[in-house]
Amino acid sequence: MKPFSVAALLAVASLSFTVAQQPPRGEPIKPLAPKGQSIKPVEAGASAKSPSPNTPAPVAEAKTDGQLIVGFDKLSSFKYDVPDENPDSPFAKGKDPDTQIPETIKAFSGKRVSLKGFMLPLKVEQGLVTELLIMRDQSMCCFGTVPKINEWVSVRMTGKGIKPVMDQAVSLVGTLKVGAIRENGYLVGIYQMDGERMDGSVGL
């Protein structure tokens, strides 16, 4: 019998528990040349090249308290073709689906990170959440929209659990694992974390 999909699990969890915007990005305009100096023209062919659509987003090495700061602006910055959803995909015919994950993202695997996102509790014991999903936004909780496979991280707390926090972004610290997660042969995720603690609500 085919196991419940993560999408089904998300739908069930959302019945029990009820978009963060990025600040504008850009570089400041360069000042004019000092008076009396001419502006050097740009030579033909010297303009910056546009990045390829397949070029992974740059990974910042920012750290806090010994762990890397990671957000879904990085973890969900690439397209991932889920083999179980597309039988015609080459990844459904034996090709390793992990080859779709950029090396810059794989580099996070095994690292202690601080991950920002929205909590969706899956298992609660004595009022504390012991298993949860950290998601890119609240589309699943509020609108029932199934997120992409690289827009959530499956988390299992290593301690007694954490207090549930809904409708606010949180920062979770733990060891991230990157790579295909399978149950009974079915792909159910690509990110998981051994959670240590929650640092509270944050602004994304």
pLDDT digits (tens, 9 = 90+) for 67-102: 899 999 999 999 988 876 555 666 656 677 788 999
pLDDT for residue 153: 97
User: Residue 31 — pLDDT band, cuts 50, 70, 90?
Assistant: very low
In a domain, 73, yes or no: yes
**What is the identity of the amino acid at 169?**
A
Q: Is 180 helix (H, G, I), strand (E, B) or coil?
A: strand
Lowest mean pLDDT among 53-62, 121-130, 162-171: 53-62
Q: Beta strand pairing status for 186-201 and 152-157? A: parallel
Does some domain include residue 1?
no
**In the numeric block, which tokens belong to residue 171?**
């920062």
Which of 147, 3, 162 lies closest to 75 in space, CA to CA? 147
- Asked if residue 23 belongs to a domain, the reply is no
Beta strands in 39-88 (DSSP E): 63-64, 67-70
Query: Does 186 map to a domain?
Result: yes
Q: Count Cβ atoms below 10 Å from residue 81 Cβ, excluding itself.
A: 15
The tally of domains found in the chain comes to 1
135-149 average pLDDT score: 76
100: domain CATH number is 2.40.50.870
Q: How far is CA 22 from CA 55, 130, 160, 162, in A?
A: 20, 29, 33, 27
Which residue has tokens 């298993």? Answer: 131
Q: Domain range for residue 148?
A: 6-17+67-201
Q: Which stretch of 10-14, 60-64, 115-119 has the lowest confidence by average pLDDT? A: 10-14
pTM surpassing 0.75?
no
* 41 domain residue, yes or no: no
CA dihedral 174, 178, 183, 188 (to 10 degrees): 100
- In this structure, is residue 58 part of a structural domain? no
Looking at the domain assignment, is residue 142 inside a domain? yes
